[in-house]
Amino acid sequence: MHIKKINQCKDQNELLINLDKYVKMAEEQRTSAVIINTNIIDINEMVKLKCRIPRCFHFQSCANCPPFTPDVEVFKKAIRKCNYAILIKYNVEPAEDFADRKISLKNAKLHERQIAKIVAEVEIAAFQDGYYLAMGLSCGSCRSYLCNDEICQFLDSGRCKFPRVARPSMEAMGIDVYKLVATVGWDIYPIGPEKVHHSTIPSASAVGIVFIA
Ligand code: SF4
């Protein structure tokens, strides 16, 4: 692969061509993908608080989950420096793998691992194209989808077992993912553990994003 020299000014036409390339790269892997302007992203402390109330299994147990993720205001400020992102929605099939409580604890992590890998692939492709600040966020906790709910090795010993794939979720940074997905016109449903029977849920998705800067 030809690695390009870093230039001080980025060519906007080339950037748009590359963004299309990242969309196609993601779409080859059972996803929908779209280029978005980052000003449509709502970053909101309430989203991050949902990791704490009601308390998620992974809260304070995974280095990529709250309270260890960056402060919402820091993230908001950083994202302002970046105009574009690729939003990626991995279609979970069957939807029961997310929606049926009897199997989701075992099966959801398989899909979350897939979206994390796709996010990491797009991020590294962008990095190698010269967008060296490219940064991906994924879905769920890496303690579940990579470390099989074992003790987080980073918190235990300072060494993450999967640094190339493990990423914080979008929610762990405060991104309102439901709102963002609805804004771009995709379907998304609030899948929770109670009240709604899984057979009534039309589809399930795992969402990731790669910021290109
Ligand atoms: S991949 Fe494993 S070791 Fe790395 S941060 Fe996640 S839980 Fe910790």
Structure confidence by residue, pLDDT tens digits, 75-91: 999 999 999 999 999 99
ipTM above threshold 0.85: yes
Residue 41, SS3 per DSSP: coil
Ligand 1 contact, 113 CB (< 6 A)? no
Residue 48: what pLDDT?
97
Q: What does the angle CA 36 – CA 39 – CA 44 come to, to the nearest 5 degrees?
A: 110
More confident residue, 4 or 54: 54
With a pLDDT cut of 90, the percent of the chain lying above it is: 83
Structure confidence by residue, pLDDT tens digits, 171-203: 999 999 999 999 999 999 998 766 667 788 899
Gap between the Cα atoms of 118 and 176, Å rounded: 21
CA of 69 to the centre of ligand 1 (A): 13
Ligand 1 contact, 186 CB (< 6 A)? no
Gap between the Cα atoms of 173 and 175, Å rounded: 6
CA of 160 to the centre of ligand 1 (A): 5
Ligand 1 contact, 142 CB (< 6 A)? yes
Ligand 1 contact, 165 CB (< 6 A)? no
| pLDDT of 108 strictly over 90 | yes
- Of 12, 3, 94, 78, the residue nearest 41 (C-alpha): 78
Structure confidence by residue, pLDDT tens digits, 116-163: 999 999 999 999 999 999 999 999 999 999 999 999 999 999 999 999
Average pLDDT, stretch 92-103?
Answer: 89
Ligand 1 contact, 119 CB (< 6 A)? no
As given in the structure block, the two tokens for residue 125 are: 């492709």
Residue 142: what pLDDT?
98
Residue 45 near residue 72, CB atoms below 8 Å:
yes
- For the chain, what is the radius of gyration of the CA atoms? 17
Gap between the Cα atoms of 187 and 204, Å rounded: 9
